[in-house]
Structure 1
Amino acid sequence: MTVKEFKLPDVGEGVAEGELVSWLVAPGDRVEEDQPVAEVETDKALVEVPSSYDGTVEELFVEEGEMVPVGDVIISFRVDEDGDAGAAAADAGSDAESDSDSAAADEPEPEPDATADEGDAEPAEPDTPSGRTFAPPSARRLARELGVDVAAVEGSGPGGRVSEADVRAHAEGGAAESGGSSDGDAPTPRPAPTDTGSGERKSAVSKRGGDESADSAAAGGNAPEPAGRETTLATPATRKVARDRGVDIDDVPTDETRDGEAFVTAEAVNAYADALESPAEPTPEPADVDAGAGDDPAAASDAADAAAAASGDETVPYRGVRRTIGKQMERSKFTAPHVTHHDTAEVDSLVDARADLKPTAESEGVKLTYMPFVMKAIVAGLKEHPYLNSELREEDEAIVLKKDYNLGIAVATDAGLMVPVVDDVDEKGLFELADEVNDLAARARERKLKPAEMKGGTFTITNFGAIGGEYATPIINYPETAILGLGAIEERPVVREGADGASEVVPAPTLPLSLSIDHRVVDGAIAAQFANTVMEHLENPLLLLNE
């Protein structure tokens, strides 16, 4: 058996990092190749990360809610020789440890009491039930930092589970036993099983600069005593500060609590780290910490979090999909000069047509909404006015008139606005479009869309009328050149010719339309003509038979 480390793969084009939302496996679980092991939220979507190995989960290196750069180790597996060989073939382009592991796989499997390296004269690894040590990621991380073989620690938890307290007790006991020994008699701490073949790589949540912190603490006699907690509450920004400063968040002293658990702020982390680096100097006064926080965005952010918490406000991280939406909106609004054209379609005939088709759609298992009719009407408008189905490529000084009609449908979700794309709308019927839109919208709300399903759009529709409202000024889904907003279909007063030829005001179902355009590409007159074409097809649904 060998231990293989698995890094966070590139789960989407241009993605540099992701938030590990949830683990789908636990240490000791048996997994197969391609089985999802974690859910990761990137700036594009929530995706499942599949395993590259057949084997047993050995260790989880990342805690839920942490941001992980692509390429960092997130999990390790204990695999047999066959599984190792197959995975090595699949990961031919990985780091050098793949070569050493595959070479080890060609040799006879070492006995349980064999050392990690054949030439080392290190103590043998003690036997554990099923050859596995039960310990949470935090305990394993602490064992690595203290140079303790976690397999040698006697666990006090259920089923021999090793806690952080067990690791500390073992480390202190080992130090006491070796205190009177000469340097030559002291055994060299062997790496934990999960460090096999890892060289100098660290897991995504290991302490950065931990050795330097330890050295500085040993150098001064006034270093603060580490708190040594097992559980600490802190914001992601605070945890990032702790990682950057090489500080274990559980060691930072604090008097603050949240829900009965210790709560640490970025100021406390910085003060603790400063004391470790310069233990002879007095701890900065709160005013000094606040002054320094202005130079550290993460610390300043956490200070704001603490102030918000004190006032009862809630602070929500601005990252992932929400941050991507914000950046995309900002880019669009400040790149494309927006103009919004408003109009209203009288849709009596559309309402009747949908009512006539609903029973047939239901018999085929399709929920028929007004959206497929609108999509077909938009395609008719785009064919007559192709500049609304275009993209401005400034670097090439060219406008590309798209021949595909791929319509994005904006869907409101708990994570923000998702825009799945329905391809080739011109080639699909009403029922087929209805079924596809319903499926995409449902999976968007469940966060199960694939990144590829949100690409390639040429024009976007946003239906704010489903929530309530008539008109809006929708922001273009850049680099597209137009977006159509739909208000609610409701009865509103309209002026029509009565039986006696006189005009009269009567209630009728109407559909408000809000068309935003990139004025660099589309003129106002063209926008109005496009809107007229769309309204003509909505007011006379039989025209949609040609689309």
Structure 2
Amino acid sequence: MLAGARSVVGRVLPRAVVRAGAGGLQAQQRTLHWTPVACKKVVPFLLADIGEGIAQATLLEWHVSEGDHVNQFDPVCDVASDKANVDISSRYDGKVVKLHYEVGEMAIVGKPLIDIEVEDDDDGETDEGASTESATSEADATAESPAIPEQQGATAGPARTGKVLMTPAVRRIVRENNIPIEQVVGTGKNGRVLKEDVLNYLEHGAQPAQAPATATTVGATASASMGQQQATATTGRGLAEDQTQPISGIQAAMVKSMTAALKVPHFSYAEEIEMDGLMEARQTLRAMAADSLKVSYMPFIIKAASLALEKYPILNSHVNEECTSVTLKAEHNISVAMDTPLGLVVPNIKNVNNKSVFDIARDLNELQELGAKNKLKTEHLTGGTFTLSNIGVLGGTYLGPVIVVPQVAIGAMGRVRKLPRFDDNDNVIARHIMEISFSADHRVIDGVTIAKFSNEMKQFIEHPLRLLAHLK
């Protein structure tokens, strides 16, 4: 039976039976008896465009198996581009009949992820006065309604006038939920509003179309096995023979980001900072913090950077690709490089300039927890304006960090070491020293600016009471 076809099952009896009786011929009229049976159809569930021109994504994990029943909004799978991880949720009620990819394979945008068996009368009914569409037409309409990633909302289009094409089943959902249909964008053939369009509106509401933001992440790789292979390759544990591995996920993103970044003329600047005062202040604040709140040095350093950026806002900016303009950013969305099981990512803490150290600590802890579970989303990874990297946790001291374009500066902290220093009376004393290294875009930032910024940031860290006086 063709997909989308409708069947009718019943008994057809003779319309009339003529009987002979005492009164002559008698006709007994019999009626047509029929019982409609809803037909099921299989619809392909497509991988939608997940933003930024991504043509393919790596299948990280299936949340369903063939034969499982899924409901609308149930998680179907996780995919990862070279930008971010995306959760894909169902737009249908039905049974999963086919998975088109294995974990670790590359799923193509616009191609089926899974096939789902659904009730034909769910969306198979036609508008009043419209003829029954052919199986080919229904397949075309289905192909125009791909799976919607959870991170995306409905895009608001211009208000409609006149009749809106939709099936009676869809009209019922619109009516029951009091949805302003002019705000729902139809993705079906000829602008037809499909069921998934309405469900997407209910989930996300109408949102203005926005240009895609630049992601400051190197993404994620596909599966645990792939991650283990990469770990083996990078740590050099005994390979019995040569191996050729595709450059994808984290590595592909690294290729793109480093190629773009190293076209920018860098210059570096380094300084050392005494941490003793901050170490004492941290102990005091940790006693004041909630029991569950982890307060490391990073929230203080992030806040110190933000306070210094207020004085030197050129360092909290984006430069366009042609380097013909610089946009000074009002918010301090400070990116923090962190290692995760599937690679390096650079999420950012939003609006640091309006947050306290405790607020920053909570946000940082949340990002670290999400990163450890490979659950960071695009909103965590986009919009960064200045980056800090704490290489010191791995034992480094000085280094030359690479700018995360389109940002114009980055700082990297080394490990804290106990070293001999002279006091004001020339006595040798022990001090806890942290080295910090900066790189900046020399097209728009000069050495004087980065040196003054470094000195300002240093003062906040070495004199934490001054930092605490500025907390919001």
Q: What interval of TM-score do these two structures reach, taking the shorter chain for normalisation?
A: 0.5 to 0.7
> In the TM superposition, what is the alpha-carbon distance from 1:470 to its structure 2 partner?
0.8
2:266 aligned to which of 323, 338, 358: 338
> In the TM superposition, what is the alpha-carbon distance from 1:314 to its structure 2 partner?
4.3
Counterpart check, 1:59 vs 2:98: yes
Whether the 8 Å CA contact 1:54–1:83 is kept in 2: the answer is no
Whether the 8 Å CA contact 1:391–1:481 is kept in 2: the answer is yes
Q: Report the equivalent of 2:31.
A: none
Whether the 8 Å CA contact 1:342–1:515 is kept in 2: the answer is yes
What one-letter code is carried by the residue in structure 1 that aligns with 2:43? Answer: K
Whether the 8 Å CA contact 1:55–1:83 is kept in 2: the answer is no
Q: In structure 2, what is the Cα distance between the partners aligned to 1:441 and 1:22?
A: 21
Larger relative contact order (CA 8 Å, sep ≥ 6)? 2
Q: Deviations over 1:18-77 (max 9, x none)?
A: 122232211110101111112212111222211111111111122222212200112111
> In the TM superposition, what is the alpha-carbon distance from 1:461 to its structure 2 partner?
0.6
Q: In structure 2, what is the Cα distance between the partners aligned to 1:401 and 1:423?
A: 16
Q: CA 1:523 to 1:100, structure 2 compared with 1: closer, same or farther past 3 Å?
A: closer
Mind listing any 5+ residue stretches in structure 1 that lack a counterpart? 89-94, 107-235, 237-308
What one-letter code is carried by the residue in structure 2 that aligns with 1:414? Answer: P
Q: CA 1:96 to 1:509, structure 2 compared with 1: closer, same or farther past 3 Å?
A: farther
Q: Deviations over 1:443-495 (max 9, x none)?
A: 11211011121111110010000111111100001110000101112212222
Q: How do 1:459-498 and structure 2 match up within 5 A?
A: 459-497=386-424
Q: CA 1:537 to 1:101, structure 2 compared with 1: closer, same or farther past 3 Å?
A: closer
Q: Report the equivalent of 1:403.
A: 330
Q: Report the equivalent of 1:318.
A: 247
Q: In structure 1, what is the Cα distance between the partners aligned to 2:293 and 2:443?
A: 40
Q: Report the equivalent of 2:138.
A: 97
Whether the 8 Å CA contact 2:321–2:406 is kept in 1: the answer is no
1:46 aligned to which of 79, 85, 90: 85
Q: CA 1:395 to 1:355, structure 2 compared with 1: closer, same or farther past 3 Å?
A: same
1:526 alignment partner, SS class: helix
Q: How do 1:350-499 and structure 2 match up within 5 A?
A: 350-363=278-291, 365-395=292-322, 397-497=324-424
Q: CA 1:339 to 1:99, structure 2 compared with 1: closer, same or farther past 3 Å?
A: closer
Q: How do 1:21-420 and structure 2 match up within 5 A?
A: 21-81=60-120, 83-84=122-123, 96-98=137-139, 311-334=240-263, 336-363=264-291, 365-395=292-322, 397-420=324-347
Q: In structure 2, what is the Cα distance between the partners aligned to 1:477 and 1:530?
A: 18
Q: Deviations over 1:94-151 (max 9, x none)?
A: x943577899x99xxxxxxxxxxxxxxxxxxxxxxxxxxxxxxxxxxxxxxxxxxxxx
Q: In structure 1, what is the Cα distance between the partners aligned to 2:118 and 2:316?
A: 52
Counterpart check, 1:521 vs 2:444: yes
1:530 alignment partner, SS class: helix
Q: In structure 2, what is the Cα distance between the partners aligned to 1:496 and 1:101?
A: 75
Whether the 8 Å CA contact 2:403–2:440 is kept in 1: the answer is yes
Q: In structure 2, what is the Cα distance between the partners aligned to 1:72 and 1:100?
A: 14
Q: Report the equivalent of 1:510.
A: 433
Q: Normalising by structure 2, report the TM-score.
A: 0.66
> In the TM superposition, what is the alpha-carbon distance from 1:428 to its structure 2 partner?
0.8
Mind listing any 5+ residue stretches in structure 2 that lack a counterpart? 1-39, 128-135, 144-164, 169-221, 223-237
Whether the 8 Å CA contact 2:44–2:142 is kept in 1: the answer is no
Q: In structure 2, what is the Cα distance between the partners aligned to 1:527 and 1:19?
A: 40
Q: In structure 2, what is the Cα distance between the partners aligned to 1:310 and 1:538?
A: 46
What one-letter code is carried by the residue in structure 1 that aligns with 2:70? Answer: V
What one-letter code is carried by the residue in structure 2 that aligns with 1:317? Answer: P
2:281 alignment partner, SS class: helix
> In the TM superposition, what is the alpha-carbon distance from 1:343 to its structure 2 partner?
0.4
Q: In structure 1, what is the Cα distance between the partners aligned to 2:242 and 2:105?
A: 23
1:339 alignment partner, SS class: strand
Q: Deviations over 1:376-410 (max 9, x none)?
A: 11011111111111122254722222221110011
What one-letter code is carried by the residue in structure 2 that aligns with 1:323? Answer: A
Whether the 8 Å CA contact 1:389–1:481 is kept in 2: the answer is yes
Q: Report the equivalent of 1:543.
A: 466
Q: CA 1:16 to 1:525, structure 2 compared with 1: closer, same or farther past 3 Å?
A: same
Q: In structure 1, what is the Cα distance between the partners aligned to 2:350 and 2:248?
A: 29
Q: CA 1:415 to 1:310, structure 2 compared with 1: closer, same or farther past 3 Å?
A: closer
Higher helix share: 1
Q: In structure 2, what is the Cα distance between the partners aligned to 1:464 and 1:14?
A: 32
What one-letter code is carried by the residue in structure 2 that aligns with 1:441? Answer: Q
Q: In structure 1, what is the Cα distance between the partners aligned to 2:446 and 2:466?
A: 26
Higher strand share: 2
Whether the 8 Å CA contact 1:421–1:455 is kept in 2: the answer is yes
Q: CA 1:310 to 1:434, structure 2 compared with 1: closer, same or farther past 3 Å?
A: closer
What one-letter code is carried by the residue in structure 2 that aligns with 1:434? Answer: A
Alignment coverage as a number of residue pairs:
333
- Fraction of identical pairs, as percent: 36
> In the TM superposition, what is the alpha-carbon distance from 1:326 to its structure 2 partner?
2.3
2:97 alignment partner, SS class: strand
> In the TM superposition, what is the alpha-carbon distance from 1:508 to its structure 2 partner?
0.8
Q: In structure 2, what is the Cα distance between the partners aligned to 1:14 and 1:523?
A: 34
Q: In structure 1, what is the Cα distance between the partners aligned to 2:420 and 2:246?
A: 45
1:13 aligned to which of 52, 55, 62: 52
What one-letter code is carried by the residue in structure 2 that aligns with 1:17? Answer: Q
Q: In structure 2, what is the Cα distance between the partners aligned to 1:523 and 1:442?
A: 37
Q: Normalising by structure 1, report the TM-score.
A: 0.57
What one-letter code is carried by the residue in structure 1 that aligns with 2:362? Answer: D
> In the TM superposition, what is the alpha-carbon distance from 1:84 to its structure 2 partner?
4.0
